[in-house]
Structure 1
């Protein structure tokens, strides 16, 4: 059974949150069980100390063993000081681990999804088997408890739920596969799409192979503040669906007409363009054809901490890769997907070349030669006057960009 507290209009107070978490876990069959708690990293706004503090109290004397596993996907690991600040604690008796996606020995195989099922789930976009590997900590516990927010997402529609398993603590193959499926659909078409998208269907299928019992505490968080609109507890599928409905009402802003320019002010929690690119994904739908997105992030000094491959490939539209697939198929498909997500919609012709629907300009600390070599435009961040840009009638300046989606009515 799934229970939900809150809705799209008011922020819950701490007492309400604590009582809901305590009541939800008290009613769960956790006595004498080992529990793997799966949480996002610090690139997601989330009041994690509040939530984990209450979970710690609720599991004390009941769970035989608790491991907190940080769902990095393929992000950089969090250091001890970062973990302490983000998670709170320390939590007596608990083990805290990063998902070490770069270490093959940390994975266990769950089998594969066969080609015919992939074709069905992907609505015919892909037809080949995909192996499903997962962090072994998940299957080595009796129960896995996902705790994390739901936001509009460029690969799956809305994040959260089983996405904390895949790609959160998954192996490279299914990460690449699911992200490329999203890229084939395109970020602009799938982001903020409600219901079971093809990528969500693939992720749910993979999650069904997990032998441990799966539970989720899904959240709808006020972007940038950590306040909570809603919480839902139950199966990852049902709790996610409940929160996605609320997120669709709280994390989407609608414009009546497209704008010529958007300036996305990227917060410091995104420390490279791999993560900071969310400042583009969330605003692309409202930019007029031929318009511009300026990603303003003076604190970002590198394209990708963990994925230098993107600097050689650069940023290109989907069809640039599809029409030259022999050149690019051997690269990590997740990298190719990231490339298309930040470049946005466009066309490619062998004679006429590549044409993007909009111009993507980085006003960051990344050197100009690196930016231009990656096929993006450069702007010196010192030259950016946010107040002057905000005063222009055809420019939208988005503060704390990356979590709230902008769409046209």
Structure 2
């Protein structure tokens, strides 16, 4: 049974949200249970301090144990100071952990998805056995409660729900596998796609192997404000679906015609290009052929905190890798996926080389030579006019998707 409050037409006041969350948790049979609460890191807009305070008021002394697990995927771990600010303070009796995706001792296998089933789920794009590995805290608790927002997403269509398990607190192999499946479909084709995409189908299949009871508090956050359009509680599949429908109304803007030049202003919550690249994903569908996207982020000084190999591989279209697979098959597929997502559509053949649909330009604090060596264009951020009348300017880029009518 899923309960939802709110709609695309407005935002909810805090007392209404607090009352709804408290009521849902009160009726969720959590007494004496060990609960793993899975929450996003700081790269997602989410009023976590408010929600965590309700959670603490409702569960402290009632649950046998509460562990808050930060769904990093393969992002950098958060420091104690960052966690304090992110969650809104210490919560006595609650344990807080980063998802240590790089530590084999923090992970456990819960089964396998056979190659034949993978072929079915992926519409025959991929066919190999997938080991389903995730953070052992998930299986060491009786109940897993996902708390997180739903936005258009470049890998899965819409984020949220079971995506907080895979890739949120998963092992790198299944993260790489799911991201490369999304890259085969391409970011521009899958982003903002409603319903069960092949990647969502794979994630749901993996989540069904989790032995713990799964619940989700899914959110539709007003981008840039942290206010909530809607909140849904229930099984992850159902709570996510309710919020994805509302996100499709609130987080997608439509243009009548493609634009030649886009200036995406990347907010400070994205502290490297691995995360800041969302400023490209969300506008790629509206860039004209031969157009340019400028990612303006003077605060970003590195391409990827946790994935330095991207600097050597560089940014390329999907076919650059597919048609030279012998060269790249041993690389992390999640890195290859990220590469294609930021570079966008294009072609490659051994005679003509790589031909790309649009130009991607970084106006960041990353050194010029590093940018150019990664196969991207460079622009000194000091020369950028943030009110350029010749550009389609996107403030607070990274969450709102732009599409053509």
TM-score, scaled relative to structure 2: 1.00
Q: How many residues were matched structurally?
A: 405
Aligned residue for 1:37? 37
Q: Using the alignment, how far apart are the partners of 1:269 and 1:81 within structure 2?
A: 15
SS at match of 1:133: strand
Residue correspondence of structure 1 range 1-400 to structure 2 within 5 A: 1-387=1-387, 389=388, 391-392=389-390, 395-400=391-396
Residue 62 (structure 1) shift? 1.4
Residue 226 (structure 1) shift? 0.5
Residues 325-381 of structure 1, C-alpha deviation per residue, up to 9 Å, x if partnerless? 000000000000000000000011110010110000000000000000000000000
Q: Using the alignment, how far apart are the partners of 1:60 and 1:313 within structure 2?
A: 48
SS at match of 1:386: coil
Q: Using the alignment, how far apart are the partners of 1:18 and 1:89 within structure 2?
A: 17
Residue 89 (structure 1) shift? 2.3
Residue 60 (structure 1) shift? 2.2
SS at match of 1:11: coil
Q: Using the alignment, how far apart are the partners of 2:350 and 2:233 within structure 1?
A: 51
Q: Using the alignment, how far apart are the partners of 2:60 and 2:369 within structure 1?
A: 54
Deviates more, 1:53-62 or 1:125-134: 53-62
Q: Using the alignment, how far apart are the partners of 1:399 and 1:166 within structure 2?
A: 30
Q: Using the alignment, how far apart are the partners of 1:238 and 1:89 within structure 2?
A: 31
Q: Using the alignment, how far apart are the partners of 1:60 and 1:373 within structure 2?
A: 52
Q: Using the alignment, how far apart are the partners of 1:355 and 1:152 within structure 2?
A: 27
Q: Using the alignment, how far apart are the partners of 2:58 and 2:254 within structure 1?
A: 40
Q: Using the alignment, how far apart are the partners of 2:45 and 2:164 within structure 1?
A: 15
Residue 191 (structure 1) shift? 0.1
Q: Using the alignment, how far apart are the partners of 1:60 and 1:271 within structure 2?
A: 33
Q: Using the alignment, how far apart are the partners of 2:106 and 2:157 within structure 1?
A: 29
Residues 265-322 of structure 1, C-alpha deviation per residue, up to 9 Å, x if partnerless? 0000000000000000000000000000000000000000000010010000000000
Q: Using the alignment, how far apart are the partners of 1:234 and 1:34 within structure 2?
A: 18
Could you list the runs of 5+ residues in structure 1 that have no partner in the other structure? none
SS at match of 1:363: strand
Q: Using the alignment, how far apart are the partners of 1:384 and 1:343 within structure 2?
A: 21
Q: Using the alignment, how far apart are the partners of 1:188 and 1:31 within structure 2?
A: 45
TM-score, scaled relative to structure 1: 0.99
Aligned residue for 2:398? 402
Residue 224 (structure 1) shift? 1.4
Q: Using the alignment, how far apart are the partners of 1:370 and 1:224 within structure 2?
A: 31
Residue 407 (structure 1) shift? 0.3
Q: Using the alignment, how far apart are the partners of 1:9 and 1:266 within structure 2?
A: 26
Q: Using the alignment, how far apart are the partners of 1:102 and 1:234 within structure 2?
A: 31
Q: Using the alignment, how far apart are the partners of 1:217 and 1:327 within structure 2?
A: 42
C-alpha RMSD of matched pairs (Å)? 0.5
Q: Using the alignment, how far apart are the partners of 2:204 and 2:363 within structure 1?
A: 38
Residue 128 (structure 1) shift? 0.6
